[in-house]
Amino acid sequence: MNSLDPILSLAIGDALKHRIGRGHGDFRLAPSYCREVARWYDASPLDGADLRVRDLYERFKRETEEQFEALLAAGFSVRPWLDAGQPYESSHELRARVVREHILYVYLTASGHGPGPGQSVEDRDCGGHPMLEASGHSVDGITFTYNDLFRAVHDLFGHVMHPNTFRIEGELRAVMSHLTMYSTEVAPVVLAESAAQICWFYYGPHLETGGDPDGIGTASPKPYPPQKVLVMTDRLVDGFWRMFKRERESFDESDLAGELVLA
């Protein structure tokens, strides 16, 4: 069953030259890999960026904004969530309401975002993180950051376009579904901003696993991961692909007219 209205799905595909991500059924969670990623992310500096990494973040921002603008061009409305709590209680509610309403509410970065060590929530945007910069998109008196744009396109292309849950397995599936919409060069940034933070959230050293080697930490409430400027290492990128029993893909610009796949 398609998760989106077919006309809107095709409109998004046309706006993005059909670079729509795919569903991924052949997936097996690898807790040891997730813990390794969590340790790597935790040990990395807040800002490990040289000029090359900063350039990759700029490209990541541009490609994310292109996807965001494709949603708007296809007839979606993306609005900030200004009430308490999260806009959706479950992935099922997210999909059902977006399909019915054609409105996607974004849980704002300002409402929930990881401060780094020694930072308070109030001054967490002082580190010059590229994704915390203001975008050119404002709705309901709120100017979205680039991280807000990323949250919007992740939710739609990762969770609405494909029926991926909000559990760790579903979140990692959503990352893979969305990852294939980005250029190959940007993938290590996308994974640092998504999969690495998901692994830290569920398997980070701040959590207790009770000695279960496959257990997911149960500390509550779980903190947001500290926001860092870095790219995932090649070895960890390859490990992410291996959870889907696949090799890392490269994107060929000549393949823009590829298949549009709906869940």
Q: How far apart are CA 224 and CA 108, in angstroms?
A: 13
Decide if 179 is inside a domain.
yes
Query: Is 1 part of a structural domain of the chain?
Result: no
At residue 215, the pLDDT reads: 52
Return the HEC string of 226-254: CCCECCCCHHHHHHHHHCCCCCCCCCCHH
Radius of gyration, alpha carbons of the chain:
18
The helix-helix angle for 146-154 and 168-179 (nearest 10°) equals: 100
Q: How far apart are CA 193 and CA 189, in angstroms?
A: 6
- Is residue 2 within 8 A of residue 260, CB to CB? The reply is no
Please check whether residue 53 lies inside any domain of the structure. Answer: yes
Residue 137 structure tokens = 């998109």
Token pair of 72, please? 């708007």
Nearest to 98 by CA among 156, 14, 171, 184: 156
CA angle 19, 23, 26 (to 5 degrees): 135
| CB distance 131 to 144 below 8 Å | no
Give the residues of the chain that fall short of pLDDT 50.
Answer: 1-2, 18, 116-126, 210-214, 251-263
DSSP 107-144: --TTTS-PPPTT--STTGGGG--GGGSEEEEEETTEEE
Does the residue 262 lie in any domain?
no
Residue 263 lies in a domain: no
Asked whether residue 258 is domain-assigned, the answer is no
| In-domain check, residue 134 | yes
So what's the pLDDT on residue 138?
A: 97
DSSP string, 152-194: HHHIIIIIISS---SSHHHHHHHHHHHHTTS-GGGHHHHHHHT
Q: Are strands 103-106 and 77-80 parallel, antiparallel or unpaired?
A: parallel
Which structural domain, as residue segments, surrounds residue 85? 6-16+28-249
Q: Helix, strand or coil for residue 25?
A: coil
How many domains does the chain fold into? 1
- How crowded is residue 116: how many other Cβ atoms within 10 Å of its Cβ? 17
